Structure 1
Amino acid sequence: MIFQFKIILKDVGVPVWRRLLIESDTTFEEFHYILLAAFDWMGSHLHEFEVRKTDGTNLPFGEVRIGVNNTEEDVDDGKILDLFMPFSFDDEPIFDQKEEVLSNWFLKEKDRVIYTYDFGDDWEHEIVLEKILNKDPNTSYPVCIKAKNDTPPEDSRYEIMTGEIDLVEPNWKEIVEDVNDLLVMEDLKTYFTDFFDL
Protein backbone atom coordinates (compact mmCIF):
# COMPACT_ATOMS: atom_id res chain seq x y z
CA MET A 1 0.00 0.00 0.00
CA ILE A 2 0.94 3.64 -0.44
CA PHE A 3 0.52 6.27 2.24
CA GLN A 4 -0.25 9.84 1.24
CA PHE A 5 1.12 12.15 3.91
CA LYS A 6 0.82 15.87 4.44
CA ILE A 7 3.82 17.00 6.46
CA ILE A 8 3.56 20.48 7.97
CA LEU A 9 6.55 22.35 9.40
CA LYS A 10 5.10 24.10 12.43
CA ASP A 11 5.74 27.57 13.89
CA VAL A 12 7.65 29.18 11.03
CA GLY A 13 5.31 32.12 10.36
CA VAL A 14 3.90 30.97 7.02
CA PRO A 15 2.44 27.64 5.84
CA VAL A 16 5.28 25.28 4.91
CA TRP A 17 4.35 21.74 3.95
CA ARG A 18 5.04 18.83 1.63
CA ARG A 19 2.67 16.15 0.35
CA LEU A 20 4.45 12.83 -0.13
CA LEU A 21 3.54 9.36 -1.36
CA ILE A 22 5.50 6.67 0.50
CA GLU A 23 5.35 2.89 0.62
CA SER A 24 3.71 1.64 3.80
CA ASP A 25 6.55 -0.81 4.60
CA THR A 26 9.10 2.03 4.81
CA THR A 27 11.02 2.01 8.09
CA PHE A 28 11.05 5.12 10.27
CA GLU A 29 14.80 5.35 9.66
CA GLU A 30 14.17 5.50 5.90
CA PHE A 31 11.35 7.98 6.55
CA HIS A 32 13.79 10.19 8.48
CA TYR A 33 16.04 10.45 5.41
CA ILE A 34 13.05 11.11 3.16
CA LEU A 35 12.04 13.98 5.47
CA LEU A 36 15.58 15.39 5.40
CA ALA A 37 15.35 15.48 1.60
CA ALA A 38 11.83 16.92 1.56
CA PHE A 39 12.64 19.75 3.97
CA ASP A 40 16.22 20.44 2.88
CA TRP A 41 17.78 19.54 6.24
CA MET A 42 21.40 18.38 6.36
CA GLY A 43 20.97 15.57 8.89
CA SER A 44 23.50 16.90 11.41
CA HIS A 45 21.12 17.11 14.39
CA LEU A 46 19.17 14.85 16.72
CA HIS A 47 15.70 13.73 15.71
CA GLU A 48 12.83 11.54 16.84
CA PHE A 49 9.25 10.64 16.06
CA GLU A 50 6.43 10.88 18.59
CA VAL A 51 3.20 9.03 17.88
CA ARG A 52 0.22 11.25 18.67
CA LYS A 53 -2.67 9.35 17.10
CA THR A 54 -2.79 5.80 15.78
CA ASP A 55 -5.71 3.56 14.86
CA GLY A 56 -7.91 6.62 15.18
CA THR A 57 -7.06 6.97 18.88
CA ASN A 58 -5.35 9.92 20.53
CA LEU A 59 -2.38 8.91 22.68
CA PRO A 60 -1.19 10.69 25.83
CA PHE A 61 1.66 13.15 25.20
CA GLY A 62 5.04 11.44 25.02
CA GLU A 63 3.72 7.89 25.35
CA VAL A 64 5.27 6.45 22.18
CA ARG A 65 8.61 7.67 20.86
CA ILE A 66 10.48 6.21 17.89
CA GLY A 67 14.13 7.04 17.32
CA VAL A 68 17.72 5.85 17.33
CA ASN A 69 18.49 3.08 19.80
CA ASN A 70 22.27 3.02 20.03
CA THR A 71 24.27 -0.03 20.94
CA GLU A 72 27.85 -0.32 22.13
CA GLU A 73 28.68 -1.62 18.65
CA ASP A 74 27.48 1.65 17.10
CA VAL A 75 29.76 3.60 19.43
CA ASP A 76 32.72 1.26 18.82
CA ASP A 77 32.23 1.60 15.06
CA GLY A 78 32.39 5.39 15.40
CA LYS A 79 29.12 6.00 13.58
CA ILE A 80 28.79 9.73 14.16
CA LEU A 81 25.18 10.05 13.07
CA ASP A 82 24.12 7.19 15.36
CA LEU A 83 25.47 9.18 18.29
CA PHE A 84 22.88 11.89 17.56
CA MET A 85 20.20 10.22 19.64
CA PRO A 86 17.37 11.23 21.93
CA PHE A 87 17.81 10.23 25.57
CA SER A 88 15.74 7.28 26.70
CA PHE A 89 13.96 7.25 30.04
CA ASP A 90 12.34 4.22 31.67
CA ASP A 91 8.89 5.83 31.51
CA GLU A 92 9.31 6.95 27.89
CA PRO A 93 10.38 3.95 25.82
CA ILE A 94 11.95 4.55 22.43
CA PHE A 95 11.12 2.09 19.68
CA ASP A 96 13.98 1.50 17.25
CA GLN A 97 13.49 3.44 14.02
CA LYS A 98 15.44 0.76 12.12
CA GLU A 99 12.84 -1.86 13.04
CA GLU A 100 9.54 0.03 13.11
CA VAL A 101 7.71 0.45 9.80
CA LEU A 102 5.12 3.08 8.97
CA SER A 103 2.28 0.56 8.75
CA ASN A 104 2.86 -0.42 12.41
CA TRP A 105 1.72 3.03 13.53
CA PHE A 106 -0.25 4.63 10.70
CA LEU A 107 -3.38 2.48 10.66
CA LYS A 108 -6.18 4.84 9.66
CA GLU A 109 -6.51 8.08 7.77
CA LYS A 110 -5.85 11.10 10.04
CA ASP A 111 -3.40 9.15 12.22
CA ARG A 112 -0.54 11.48 13.06
CA VAL A 113 3.05 11.58 14.25
CA ILE A 114 5.29 14.51 15.19
CA TYR A 115 8.80 14.42 13.74
CA THR A 116 11.22 16.70 15.58
CA TYR A 117 14.51 17.59 13.94
CA ASP A 118 17.21 19.53 15.83
CA PHE A 119 16.31 19.66 19.52
CA GLY A 120 17.93 23.12 19.76
CA ASP A 121 15.91 24.84 17.03
CA ASP A 122 13.07 22.38 17.66
CA TRP A 123 11.75 22.04 14.11
CA GLU A 124 8.47 20.16 14.60
CA HIS A 125 6.81 18.52 11.60
CA GLU A 126 3.24 17.29 11.93
CA ILE A 127 2.81 14.19 9.77
CA VAL A 128 -0.81 13.37 8.92
CA LEU A 129 -1.89 10.27 7.00
CA GLU A 130 -4.34 11.69 4.45
CA LYS A 131 -5.06 8.64 2.29
CA ILE A 132 -4.21 4.97 1.93
CA LEU A 133 -3.80 4.18 -1.75
CA ASN A 134 -3.05 1.26 -4.01
CA LYS A 135 0.41 1.18 -5.50
CA ASP A 136 0.68 2.54 -9.02
CA PRO A 137 3.11 0.36 -11.00
CA ASN A 138 4.05 3.37 -13.13
CA THR A 139 5.15 5.51 -10.16
CA SER A 140 8.48 5.42 -8.33
CA TYR A 141 8.21 5.91 -4.58
CA PRO A 142 8.79 7.95 -2.51
CA VAL A 143 7.58 10.97 -4.45
CA CYS A 144 6.57 14.52 -3.60
CA ILE A 145 3.35 15.57 -5.34
CA LYS A 146 2.78 19.04 -3.89
CA ALA A 147 4.51 21.60 -1.70
CA LYS A 148 4.05 25.03 -0.20
CA ASN A 149 6.78 27.58 0.49
CA ASP A 150 10.49 27.22 1.19
CA THR A 151 11.95 25.62 4.29
CA PRO A 152 14.21 27.56 6.65
CA PRO A 153 17.96 27.07 6.51
CA GLU A 154 19.61 24.85 9.08
CA ASP A 155 20.19 26.53 12.48
CA SER A 156 18.00 29.55 11.70
CA ARG A 157 15.32 29.50 14.43
CA TYR A 158 16.32 32.96 15.72
CA GLU A 159 16.12 34.45 12.22
CA ILE A 160 12.69 32.88 11.72
CA MET A 161 11.46 34.28 15.04
CA THR A 162 12.69 37.78 14.18
CA GLY A 163 11.27 37.69 10.64
CA GLU A 164 14.66 38.00 8.94
CA ILE A 165 13.99 35.10 6.56
CA ASP A 166 11.28 35.11 3.91
CA LEU A 167 10.00 31.59 3.21
CA VAL A 168 7.28 32.58 0.73
CA GLU A 169 7.81 30.83 -2.62
CA PRO A 170 4.91 30.89 -5.07
CA ASN A 171 6.47 28.35 -7.44
CA TRP A 172 5.50 25.10 -5.70
CA LYS A 173 6.26 23.04 -8.81
CA GLU A 174 9.92 24.02 -8.61
CA ILE A 175 10.03 22.94 -4.95
CA VAL A 176 8.47 19.58 -5.88
CA GLU A 177 11.02 19.11 -8.65
CA ASP A 178 13.93 19.86 -6.29
CA VAL A 179 12.61 17.45 -3.65
CA ASN A 180 12.06 14.69 -6.21
CA ASP A 181 15.59 15.15 -7.56
CA LEU A 182 16.80 13.97 -4.15
CA LEU A 183 14.14 11.32 -3.58
CA VAL A 184 15.13 9.39 -6.71
CA MET A 185 18.48 8.56 -5.12
CA GLU A 186 18.74 4.87 -4.32
CA ASP A 187 20.42 5.42 -0.95
CA LEU A 188 19.44 8.63 0.81
CA LYS A 189 21.18 7.50 4.01
CA THR A 190 24.52 7.34 2.21
CA TYR A 191 23.88 10.74 0.64
CA PHE A 192 23.36 12.39 4.03
CA THR A 193 26.05 10.48 5.93
CA ASP A 194 28.62 11.40 3.27
CA PHE A 195 28.48 14.93 4.72
CA PHE A 196 30.33 13.46 7.71
CA ASP A 197 32.76 11.27 5.75
CA LEU A 198 31.42 8.06 7.27
Structure 2
Amino acid sequence: MIYQIKVTLKDVGLPVWRRLLVHSDTTFEDLHYILMAAFDWAGYHLHEFDVRRSDGERMSVTRIGPDDDTNGSDLENSFPFAVDEAFTSQFLPHLKLRNEKNERLSDWIKKEKDRILYTYDFGDNWEHNIVLESILEADPSLTYPTCIKAKNDAPPEDSRGELIEDGIDLVNPDWKEIVADINEVFETDNWKDEFLSRDDLF
Protein backbone atom coordinates (compact mmCIF):
# COMPACT_ATOMS: atom_id res chain seq x y z
CA MET A 1 0.00 0.00 0.00
CA ILE A 2 0.96 3.63 -0.47
CA TYR A 3 0.66 6.28 2.21
CA GLN A 4 -0.09 9.87 1.25
CA ILE A 5 1.42 11.98 4.00
CA LYS A 6 1.53 15.72 4.52
CA VAL A 7 4.65 16.96 6.29
CA THR A 8 4.42 20.49 7.70
CA LEU A 9 7.40 22.37 9.12
CA LYS A 10 6.25 24.13 12.29
CA ASP A 11 6.99 27.60 13.64
CA VAL A 12 8.69 29.20 10.65
CA GLY A 13 6.31 32.13 10.17
CA LEU A 14 4.48 30.89 7.06
CA PRO A 15 3.22 27.59 5.65
CA VAL A 16 6.03 25.25 4.60
CA TRP A 17 4.93 21.74 3.73
CA ARG A 18 5.38 18.77 1.42
CA ARG A 19 2.80 16.20 0.30
CA LEU A 20 4.54 12.87 -0.28
CA LEU A 21 3.63 9.37 -1.44
CA VAL A 22 5.65 6.62 0.25
CA HIS A 23 5.38 2.87 0.64
CA SER A 24 3.58 1.88 3.83
CA ASP A 25 6.45 -0.47 4.73
CA THR A 26 9.02 2.34 4.59
CA THR A 27 11.32 2.18 7.61
CA PHE A 28 11.63 5.25 9.80
CA GLU A 29 15.30 5.36 8.84
CA ASP A 30 14.35 5.66 5.16
CA LEU A 31 11.64 8.19 6.02
CA HIS A 32 14.33 10.31 7.64
CA TYR A 33 16.27 10.37 4.37
CA ILE A 34 13.10 11.07 2.40
CA LEU A 35 12.46 14.09 4.62
CA MET A 36 16.06 15.24 4.24
CA ALA A 37 15.57 15.31 0.47
CA ALA A 38 12.08 16.82 0.61
CA PHE A 39 13.18 19.75 2.80
CA ASP A 40 16.74 19.95 1.50
CA TRP A 41 18.29 19.31 4.90
CA ALA A 42 21.89 18.07 4.89
CA GLY A 43 21.36 15.34 7.49
CA TYR A 44 24.34 15.98 9.78
CA HIS A 45 22.25 16.85 12.87
CA LEU A 46 20.47 14.53 15.31
CA HIS A 47 16.83 13.63 14.74
CA GLU A 48 13.96 11.74 16.33
CA PHE A 49 10.40 10.63 15.61
CA ASP A 50 7.64 10.85 18.22
CA VAL A 51 4.45 8.93 17.43
CA ARG A 52 1.53 11.11 18.53
CA ARG A 53 -1.46 9.20 17.13
CA SER A 54 -1.49 5.56 16.06
CA ASP A 55 -4.37 3.40 14.80
CA GLY A 56 -6.71 6.25 15.67
CA GLU A 57 -5.55 6.40 19.30
CA ARG A 58 -3.49 9.09 20.97
CA MET A 59 -0.04 7.89 21.97
CA SER A 60 2.36 9.03 24.66
CA VAL A 61 6.13 8.71 24.83
CA THR A 62 6.74 6.50 21.80
CA ARG A 63 10.03 7.69 20.33
CA ILE A 64 11.88 6.23 17.37
CA GLY A 65 15.40 7.17 16.36
CA PRO A 66 18.86 6.05 15.22
CA ASP A 67 20.80 3.29 16.92
CA ASP A 68 23.82 3.57 19.20
CA ASP A 69 26.19 4.54 16.40
CA THR A 70 24.48 7.89 15.90
CA ASN A 71 21.97 9.27 18.38
CA GLY A 72 22.48 6.78 21.17
CA SER A 73 20.03 4.14 22.25
CA ASP A 74 18.01 5.99 24.83
CA LEU A 75 16.48 9.30 25.71
CA GLU A 76 19.38 10.28 27.96
CA ASN A 77 21.66 10.42 24.91
CA SER A 78 19.17 12.09 22.58
CA PHE A 79 17.63 14.82 24.73
CA PRO A 80 18.82 18.31 23.76
CA PHE A 81 19.25 19.17 27.45
CA ALA A 82 20.71 17.58 30.56
CA VAL A 83 18.62 14.93 32.32
CA ASP A 84 19.17 14.72 36.06
CA GLU A 85 19.73 11.45 37.87
CA ALA A 86 16.30 11.35 39.54
CA PHE A 87 14.58 11.86 36.20
CA THR A 88 16.75 9.18 34.60
CA SER A 89 16.04 6.53 37.22
CA GLN A 90 12.31 7.26 37.27
CA PHE A 91 11.56 7.62 33.57
CA LEU A 92 14.32 6.37 31.27
CA PRO A 93 13.45 2.67 31.62
CA HIS A 94 10.13 3.54 29.93
CA LEU A 95 11.52 5.94 27.36
CA LYS A 96 13.92 3.83 25.34
CA LEU A 97 14.26 4.84 21.73
CA ARG A 98 13.07 2.23 19.28
CA ASN A 99 15.55 1.61 16.49
CA GLU A 100 14.39 3.37 13.33
CA LYS A 101 15.97 0.67 11.17
CA ASN A 102 13.52 -1.88 12.55
CA GLU A 103 10.32 0.16 12.76
CA ARG A 104 8.08 0.67 9.71
CA LEU A 105 5.41 3.25 9.07
CA SER A 106 2.75 0.56 8.84
CA ASP A 107 3.66 -0.55 12.37
CA TRP A 108 2.56 2.78 13.76
CA ILE A 109 0.40 4.86 11.43
CA LYS A 110 -2.55 2.82 10.23
CA LYS A 111 -5.52 5.13 9.90
CA GLU A 112 -6.10 8.50 8.28
CA LYS A 113 -5.15 11.36 10.61
CA ASP A 114 -2.60 9.25 12.48
CA ARG A 115 0.29 11.58 13.26
CA ILE A 116 4.01 11.67 13.99
CA LEU A 117 6.22 14.54 15.13
CA TYR A 118 9.65 14.51 13.47
CA THR A 119 12.37 16.70 14.98
CA TYR A 120 15.57 17.47 13.11
CA ASP A 121 18.47 19.35 14.73
CA PHE A 122 17.89 19.61 18.48
CA GLY A 123 19.61 23.00 18.48
CA ASP A 124 17.46 24.77 15.88
CA ASN A 125 14.62 22.36 16.75
CA TRP A 126 13.00 22.00 13.32
CA GLU A 127 9.74 20.19 14.13
CA HIS A 128 7.66 18.61 11.36
CA ASN A 129 4.09 17.37 11.74
CA ILE A 130 3.56 14.22 9.66
CA VAL A 131 -0.10 13.34 9.05
CA LEU A 132 -1.40 10.30 7.20
CA GLU A 133 -3.93 11.72 4.75
CA SER A 134 -4.83 8.69 2.63
CA ILE A 135 -4.04 5.02 2.09
CA LEU A 136 -3.84 4.24 -1.62
CA GLU A 137 -3.18 1.39 -4.01
CA ALA A 138 0.21 1.58 -5.71
CA ASP A 139 0.15 3.17 -9.16
CA PRO A 140 2.41 1.20 -11.54
CA SER A 141 3.07 4.38 -13.52
CA LEU A 142 4.71 6.05 -10.51
CA THR A 143 7.93 5.48 -8.65
CA TYR A 144 8.04 5.90 -4.88
CA PRO A 145 8.79 7.96 -2.89
CA THR A 146 7.44 10.91 -4.81
CA CYS A 147 6.37 14.45 -3.98
CA ILE A 148 3.03 15.58 -5.42
CA LYS A 149 2.69 19.07 -3.97
CA ALA A 150 4.66 21.56 -1.89
CA LYS A 151 4.44 24.99 -0.31
CA ASN A 152 7.33 27.45 0.05
CA ASP A 153 11.03 26.84 0.64
CA ALA A 154 12.46 25.29 3.78
CA PRO A 155 15.04 27.33 5.73
CA PRO A 156 18.69 26.36 5.30
CA GLU A 157 20.68 24.47 7.91
CA ASP A 158 21.56 26.25 11.17
CA SER A 159 19.42 29.29 10.39
CA ARG A 160 16.92 29.47 13.27
CA GLY A 161 18.45 32.67 14.64
CA GLU A 162 18.46 34.33 11.24
CA LEU A 163 14.88 33.20 10.65
CA ILE A 164 13.77 34.74 13.95
CA GLU A 165 15.37 38.03 12.90
CA ASP A 166 13.40 37.95 9.60
CA GLY A 167 16.59 37.52 7.62
CA ILE A 168 15.34 34.66 5.43
CA ASP A 169 12.70 34.82 2.71
CA LEU A 170 11.02 31.41 2.40
CA VAL A 171 8.27 32.50 0.01
CA ASN A 172 8.30 30.53 -3.23
CA PRO A 173 5.10 30.69 -5.30
CA ASP A 174 6.36 28.11 -7.81
CA TRP A 175 5.33 24.91 -6.03
CA LYS A 176 5.76 22.90 -9.22
CA GLU A 177 9.44 23.82 -9.32
CA ILE A 178 9.87 22.70 -5.70
CA VAL A 179 8.17 19.39 -6.51
CA ALA A 180 10.30 18.90 -9.63
CA ASP A 181 13.52 19.53 -7.69
CA ILE A 182 12.53 17.02 -5.00
CA ASN A 183 11.48 14.36 -7.49
CA GLU A 184 14.67 14.83 -9.45
CA VAL A 185 16.44 13.50 -6.35
CA PHE A 186 14.00 10.60 -5.88
CA GLU A 187 14.20 9.56 -9.54
CA THR A 188 17.98 9.16 -9.42
CA ASP A 189 19.28 5.59 -9.25
CA ASN A 190 20.41 4.85 -5.69
CA TRP A 191 19.04 8.28 -4.79
CA LYS A 192 19.80 7.99 -1.10
CA ASP A 193 23.52 7.34 -1.67
CA GLU A 194 23.68 10.10 -4.27
CA PHE A 195 21.92 12.54 -1.95
CA LEU A 196 24.18 11.78 0.99
CA SER A 197 27.33 12.15 -1.10
CA ARG A 198 26.48 15.63 -2.40
CA ASP A 199 29.37 18.07 -2.41
CA ASP A 200 27.20 21.09 -1.59
CA LEU A 201 26.18 20.22 1.95
CA PHE A 202 28.04 23.08 3.63
Report the TM-score range of the alignment, normalised by the length of the smaller protein: 0.7 to 0.9
TM-score (normalizing by structure 2)? 0.86
* Shift, 1:83, TM fit: 2.4
SS in 2 for 1:90: helix
4+ long deviations beyond 6 Å = none
1:107 is aligned to: 110
Alpha-carbon distance between aligned partners in 2 of 1:115 and 1:18, rounded to the nearest angstrom? 13
Tell me how far apart the structure 2 counterparts of residues 192 and 118 of structure 1 sit (CA, whole Å): 18
Q: How many residues align?
A: 183
Q: Give secondary structure in 1 for the equivalent of 2:140.
A: coil
Structure-1 separation of matches of 2:11 and 2:58:
22
Q: Over aligned residue pairs, what C-alpha RMSD do you find?
A: 1.6
Distance in structure 2 (CA, Å) of the matches to 1:65 and 1:40: 23
Residue 116 (structure 1) shift? 0.4
Distance 1:193 1:85, change over 3 A: farther
Change in CA separation of 1:166 and 1:154 when aligned onto 2, cut-off 3 Å:
same
Gaps of at least 5 residues in structure 1 are 71-81
What amino acid does structure 2 have at the position aligned with 1:27? Answer: T
The runs of 5 or more residues in structure 2 that have no matched partner are: 76-91
Match of residue 76 from structure 1: none
The equivalent residue for 2:138 is 135
Q: What code does the residue aligned with 1:39 have? A: F
Q: Counterpart in 1 of 2:155?
A: 152
Q: Secondary structure at the match of 2:197?
A: helix
TM-score normalized by the length of structure 1: 0.88
Q: Which residue identity is paired with 2:43? A: G
Q: Tell me by how many angstroms 1:86 deviates.
A: 7.0
- Report the CA distance shift for 1:46/1:195 in structure 2 as closer, same or farther (over 3 A): farther
